[in-house]
Structure 1
Amino acid sequence: MNKAKKILLFDSIIDGHHADYLTHLIRYWVQNRLAGELIVVTQQSFQACFDELTTGQPGGRNVRFVPLPPADIDAVHGALMLTRSFKEWNLVLRYIGQHQPAHVLLMYFDLFQLATWLGRSAPCAVSGIYFRPDFHYKRNPGFKAQLNGFRKKVTLKGALRKSSLANVFCLDHSAVEGLRQLAPAAKVWPLADPVESYSITPAEVQQLRHDLQIDANRRVFLLFGYLDDRKGIEPLLDALKELPKPQQQAVCLVLVGPIQPDYKQKIEQKITDVGGEVQIVRVYQEIKGRQIQLYFELADYALALYQRHVGMASVVVRAAVSRKPVLASDYGYLGHLVQTEHLGVVADTTSPAAIRAMLERVLTTEIPYSKTNLQKLADHNSDVYFAETIFKQLLP
């Protein structure tokens, strides 16, 4: 096998979009029968998905799965953040030494900045996917926040100027120019936040509405993904509690995604406090593949009420695929994108009063949004476009 075409993908995390991103890259490699060898290093739990993508496929013969031992995963995931960067980087170096790739792609570059700058050098080219750059966000005036921002910027600059760093693929397109200014020699590319698209029939949507027992004439507001305190569920429920009764009766909130038992208990109490006028449907489980789009097709509005979220959110892309307007946080790149591209409306999602005002606006007037721009966003964030962007730079 020609070493010049051997690529190693590394990710010690496999939940949510981490598994999706690996899937998109493997599927593209297999379907296009790319020359060389693709080595996928991640958790053992990804094995079944890997086998489904490669077994019996001609293009799957040159794709190899290498499971990370649970002890190694526990060691890096249990470390403090500064220590973790070096521990996980040393783990990457071990697999580089074993497999001798020409190029390694760090699927979550955010973790590795300090170690790639100050740690041991890699004997091959390194690229990474950068999820949440925040060096270009306005800082709080406090000294601690300013110092933390300065530290992050220095670390990022050091990592970007490392000679072995070949490419940085950035999910926050508003940060690309700033990254290039920090390190003019670095190759920084805007990257799609990929979503696979499916063909969904109206009958399927109607069946799901029936299965969830959603009341007729209610508008469906979908909050999708891992349900935790980052998603703005608590201020949303506080806002729904304060809506006038006629507007409460026009709302069906659908919460979809896995949730930890302690947080579930907290949310259930808040749901009780909202009262019975608002219909709240709970689907406390992970939804995958085609079924995800079905929920977005069901929705009238997609909620992206993240609390001070940095970077892009795939919820917005999934909403675009289904041509549904987004109710989003006004913070950071996410808020900027929704506003400037007319994808929906934004508010300060840390404030129940601001969320309530946004909901009242939606329920009493038709909010303007651009279906054309939703279509454009969906087209620019396909799984194929994502993989093409990466392999175009990684393959010689």
Structure 2
Amino acid sequence: MATSSVPHLLILEPDSRGHVREWISYLVAAAHKAGPDALRLSLAVPPSLAEELERTLPPVRHRNVRAMALTPREVAACMHRQLWISGMARWWIMRRLMARAAATHGLFLALDHLSLPLALGLGAGHRPLSGILFRPSVHYQHINAHPPSLRERLRELRKVVLYRLMLRNPAVGAVLSLDPYFADFAAHHYPRASKVTTIPDPVCLAPDPAADERRLATRVPNERKLFLLFGELTARKGVLVLLEALQRVPPELACQIAVVVAGPLDPPIRDAVRSTVAHIHRLRPDLWLHLEDRRLASGEIVALLERSQVVLAPYQRFVGSSGIILWAAQARRPVLCQDYGLVGRLTRDFGLGMALDTTDTAALAQALGAVARDTAAIKFDTRGMERLCNERKPERFAQIVIEGALCGHHDTRLAPASAGREALP
């Protein structure tokens, strides 16, 4: 194949938190497997992540993948708290970098930020743009029992308009949805819904923990049942509501459980969380509670999951997917989570655990107490968990993302022959 005919995919992602490192590792592995005659891959990422990638990639002359470090100013603009500002910044930077790198296709790992510029018809000079859509919540009214609030109605109205215009944009190649229920909704409501493809939210590969990665798990008293909350700890993840609910659990039940809250605390809630934890330590010695304010290594997560009885995901009407419930399913541990949105729907459909209104502190406290009394109170289906994980293999994620981003440029070297393109149930 001539060099000029090899597709060149440029991926832009200014945020190195959360799942990004795992996703990029899957995409890099797929590109390496395809080889330089099938695909060239450029990654525009924050400087720290670019340095990590450069250390792990083969010598330049032997590779078809390269890392491009965004400048601090570019990262700041892309991460602006105002969505329209971050969206315009990401579009402009993608357009400029694609021209500089002579990329043929562009991929955003978080397309949600780009809905406004793409709805306005902006493009990248006849080069197709695609992206992964995290939070397509316009269909939640069909999968939730609770009526939306006024704020949620306004949010969905805005998204309905933006999605319709975005799909009309000829520059948009593929909209890759992590929500397996959105594609069917789009097919019935949007004229250009053929651009929407479901992709599997990949289950992270679980390594065997090293001895030092078990230290946190071994601190939990053996006689107590472990309730585990981990990940990026923001207000939407329900950390403060959980701490309030724990204080309502009766002492005779609280003395049977241990609670580990682990992950980097979002700065706006850090002081409130720390002060509440200190308050619980002073007034509720019957409750074993540990806060670990840092990012955990994968081995540490595995060790904690092995020790746990229940994984907590008390999200506050959180929109989108959750890697936490996938980690729990992989470890065959039940979740206690919100009944709202995609998280609630997946929990019900696959039998992942107990879904309830986690915005109701009293209801959450009652559920915690019931499970503390008897872990059999939380029902789950190990076969459903296995099915969920089997449908979300990292290799399949990388294949569908790359093929979708290349907008029909198919090369058999880009994916194993056994991988499928069918949508998830």
TM-score of the two chains, using structure 1 as the length reference: 0.91
1:161-201 Cα deviation digits (max 9, x unpaired) = 22222211111112121123333433222111123223537
2 CA distance for matches of 1:137 and 1:2? 44
**Aligned partner of 1:214: which letter?**
V
Which runs of structure 2 are paired with 1:50-129 in the superposition (5 Å)?
A: 50-55=53-58, 61-78=63-80, 80-122=82-124, 123-129=126-132
2:396 counterpart residue number: 385
1:172 counterpart (174, 179, 203):
179
Distance 1:371 1:109 in 2: 33
Residue type of the alignment partner of 1:21: W
Question: Mind listing any 5+ residue stretches in structure 2 that lack a counterpart?
Answer: 142-146, 411-425
One-letter amino acid of the counterpart of residue 8, structure 2: K
Corresponding residue for residue 306 of structure 1: 315
CA-CA distance at 1:155 after TM superposition: 0.7
**What is the aligned-residue identity percentage?**
26
In structure 1, what is the Cα distance between the partners aligned to 2:155 and 2:320? 18
* Correspondent of 1:159 among 166, 176, 184: 166
Q: Does 1:196 align with 2:207?
A: no
Q: Structure 1 CA distance, aligned partners of 2:42 and 2:330?
A: 31
RMSD of aligned alpha carbons:
2.4
1:1-396 superposed matches below 5 A: 1-33=3-35, 35-55=38-58, 61-78=63-80, 80-122=82-124, 123-138=126-141, 140=148, 142=150, 145-185=152-192, 186-200=194-208, 208-210=216-218, 213-260=219-266, 263-274=269-280, 275-365=284-374, 366=376, 367-393=378-404, 394=406, 395-396=409-410
CA contact (8 A) 1:239 1:353 kept: yes
For 1:254 and 1:207, the matched residues in 2 are separated by 13
- Residues of 2 paired with 1:198 and 1:121: CA distance? 39
Distance apart, 1:76 and its partner CA: 3.5
Q: CA deviation at 1:338?
A: 0.5
C-alpha distance in 2 between matches for 1:289 and 1:280: 21
Q: Distance in 1 between matches of 2:123 and 2:251?
A: 62
Task: Look up the equivalent residue of 1:317 and give its one-letter code.
Answer: L
Q: How many residues align?
A: 392
Alpha-carbon distance between aligned partners in 2 of 1:25 and 1:99, rounded to the nearest angstrom: 19
1:300 Cα shift?
1.4
CA contact (8 A) 2:309 2:333 kept: yes
Q: Is the 8 A contact 1:130 1:168 kept in 2?
A: yes
3-state SS, counterpart of residue 173 of structure 1: coil
1:386 aligns to what SS in structure 2?
Answer: helix
1:30 deviates by 1.8
Which structure ranks higher in relative contact order (CA pairs < 8 Å, sequence separation ≥ 6)? Answer: 2
TM-score normalised per structure 2: 0.85
Range with greater deviation from structure 2 (98-107 or 322-331): 98-107
| Residues 326, 52 of structure 1: alpha-carbon distance in 2 compared, 3 angstrom cutoff | farther
Counterparts of 1:205 and 1:44, CA distance in 2: 27
1:358 & 1:202 partners in 2: Cα distance? 34
* Structure 1 residue 103, shift from structure 2 partner: 1.4
CA distance 1:32–1:321, change in 2 (3 Å): farther
Counterparts of 1:194 and 1:370 in 2: how far apart (Å)?
A: 20
Deviation at 1:209, TM superposition (A): 2.9
Unaligned runs of 5+ in 1: none
Measured after TM superposition, the shift of residue 32 of structure 1 is: 4.4
Q: Which amino acid aligns with 2:289?
A: I
Distance 1:208 1:149 in 2: 41
Structure 1 residue 271, shift from structure 2 partner: 2.2
Q: Distance in 2 between matches of 1:244 and 1:167?
A: 51
Seen in structure 2, the aligned counterparts of structure 1 residues 207 and 271 have a Cα distance that, compared at 3 Å, is closer
